Amino acid sequence: MKSGSLDVGKRVVVVAVKASREISRSAFIWALTHVVQPGDSVKLLVLIPSHTSSIRLWGLRRFNSDCTASNWRSLSGTTLDQKDFISESCTQMLLQLHDIYDPNKMKVKVKVISGSQSGVVAAEARRVQTRWVVLDK
């Protein structure tokens, strides 16, 4: 492809979820099945609320067909510990979604943001120049 030409098949889709009482995978699955095409990238934006230093995080490692049936895990500690746990959990979730997610056809990046201020999702969407933002709740 010539330099400067548009690469139509390579879009970035931002999927924003909140890490508080639960992290639902439904928005991510919806994006994969309705928006994302081969060659696209997905930015899974996980927002950690700033109002608490000890949050209950969804046990993403044990996802099944009903996200509400998963196990809970209480996690306290530094923001870095929380971000590491969430990133690892999201990686495990991707492995469990092998029937609808093919890492050879699309890229997924997880970005965990703490202290989510108003407008952080819009700012990230502008930064990556996406036309698709999928919000959960």
d(Cα 75, Cα 92) in Å, to the nearest integer? Answer: 17
The CA-CA-CA angle for residues 94, 48, 90, to 5°, reads 10
Rounded Cα distance between 135 and 137, Å, is 6
pLDDT of 64 > 60? The answer is no
* Pairwise CA distance, residues 134 & 31, whole Å: 7
pLDDT of residue 98 exceeding 90, the answer is no
Residue 114 domain flag: yes
Q: The CATH number of the domain where 93 resides is what?
A: 3.40.50
pLDDT at 5 over 60: no
8 has a pLDDT exceeding 80 = no
Provide the pLDDT for residue 22. Answer: 65
The total number of structural domains that make up the chain:
1
The domain of 35 spans: 12-135
Token duo for residue 136: 């959960």
Q: Are 46 and 108 in contact (CB under 8 A)?
A: no
Does the pTM surpass 0.85? The reply is no
2 vs 42: CA distance, rounded Å: 25
Residue 27 confidence (pLDDT): 92
